[in-house]
Amino acid sequence: MTTPSFAIGIAGGTGAGKTTLAREMVDGHADAVTLIPIDNYYDDLGHLPFEERAEANYDHPSAFEWELLREHLDALLDGDAVEMPQYDFTEHRRTEETVHVEPTDVVVLEGIFALYDDVITASLDLRVYVEADADVRILRRIERDVVERGRDIEDVIEQYRATVKPMHERYVEPTKKTADIVVPEGANGVAVDLLAEKVRAESTAGLGLDR
Ligand SMILES: Nc1ncnc2c1ncn2[C@@H]1O[C@H](COP(=O)(O)OP(=O)(O)O)[C@@H](O)[C@H]1O
Ligand SMILES: Nc1ccn([C@@H]2O[C@H](COP(=O)(O)O)[C@@H](O)[C@H]2O)c(=O)n1
């Protein structure tokens, strides 16, 4: 059993490049990193009709199951495995399956609210906020949501106006002040290299050691 030695939180607005940064900084050390995408902890709205699920506000903190996320983060940091829920953006609900996740040397928590919850933030060793201009983020998001999340461009724009932008300004952007590091433009080469070096150091430190 491995007890993680280091926990990193990566927050930032939608489309800022959080997922890309997380992926690139663990490149080559993926076996030593446990990734927790906070999106997997959206409340399951499976009991509602699809139209209602599509209209929900997914950018308010109350859209997430914080208790389960805290419980799973605690378990992983204590060296215990979890059954992680999985989220389907095309259906706006959790899938039937969970994924068995074992703790490793480094835990990376990634999502718009990675630095929102005081209890969670206190258990992180490094807090990162990824920043990108709003116009860059919405353009990235339109492309991604249409190609990968099965959305119409009109719906993406309307959702952005109605909830994504106002919630970002009210709840996500203010978490930047709790960050240790603010990364401009997401997966920029210098930031990736620095964070990758930290991940490598923590992974090497944990090699072969049961803690
Ligand atoms: N530094 C970057 N330069 C160019 N495109 C980027 C950069 N970072 C991310 N992207 C692209 O922007 C889109 C959204 O990035 P993603 O990492 O999924 O953002 P987030 O997880 O913050 O929502 C993806 O298509 C990704 O390839
Ligand atoms: N059913 C859902 C659930 C979430 N979203 C949007 O996802 C965004 C967070 O994910 P990122 O990878 O972009 O950080 C968030 O802004 C929600 O609006 C959704 O559209 N549908």
ipTM: 0.96
Tell me if 37 is assigned to some domain: yes
Whether the predicted pLDDT of 208 surpasses 90:
no
The Å distance, Cα 205 to ligand 1 centre, comes to: 30
pLDDT score recorded for residue 211: 37
> What residues make up the domain containing 60?
6-205
- Structural tokens at position 184: 């401009």
| The pLDDT value given to residue 197 | 94
| Test site for ligand 2: of 50, 53, 58, most ligand atoms within 8 A of the Cβ | 58
User: CA–CA distance from 202 to each of 21, 79, 123, 174 (Å)?
Assistant: 17, 15, 16, 29
pLDDT in tens, 79-107: 999 999 999 999 999 999 999 999 999 99
pLDDT (0 to 100) of residue 116: 98
pLDDT in tens, 3-24: 988 999 999 999 999 999 999 9
If one counts the domains in the chain, the total is 1
- pLDDT exceeds cutoff 80 at 1: no
Identify the pLDDT of residue 204: 73
210 lies in some domain: no
Kindly identify the ligand whose nearest atom is closest to the C-alpha of 186: 1
Per-residue model confidence (pLDDT) at position 206: 57
185 has a pLDDT exceeding 90: no
C-alpha span between 208 and 196 (Å, rounded):
20
Q: What CA–CA distances, in Å, run from 191 to 33, 88, 130?
A: 18, 30, 10
Is 33 a member of any domain?
A: yes
pLDDT at 173: 98
In a domain, 109, yes or no: yes
Q: What is the CATH number of the domain that holds 167?
A: 3.40.50.300
Task: Choose which residue among 10, 39, 151, 175 to substitute to test ligand 2 binding: the one with the highest number of ligand atoms within 8 A of its C-beta.
Answer: 39
Ligand 2 within 6 A of CB of 38: no
Q: Is residue 157 part of a domain?
A: yes
User: Relative to the alpha carbon of 187, which ligand is closest?
Assistant: 1
What is the spatial distance between Cα 186 and Cα 164, in angstroms, rounded to a whole number? 19
For residue 79, report the phi and psi dihedrals to the nearest 5 degrees: 95, 15
Question: What percent of the chain has a predicted confidence (pLDDT) above 90?
Answer: 89
pTM, 2 dp: 0.95
Q: Is 183 a residue whose pLDDT tops 50?
A: yes
pLDDT in tens, 108-149: 999 999 999 999 999 999 999 999 999 999 999 999 999 999
On whether residue 211 sits in a domain, the answer given is no
At 33, is the secondary structure helix, strand, or coil? strand
Q: Residue 198 falls within a domain, yes or no?
A: yes
* Inside any domain, residue 29: yes
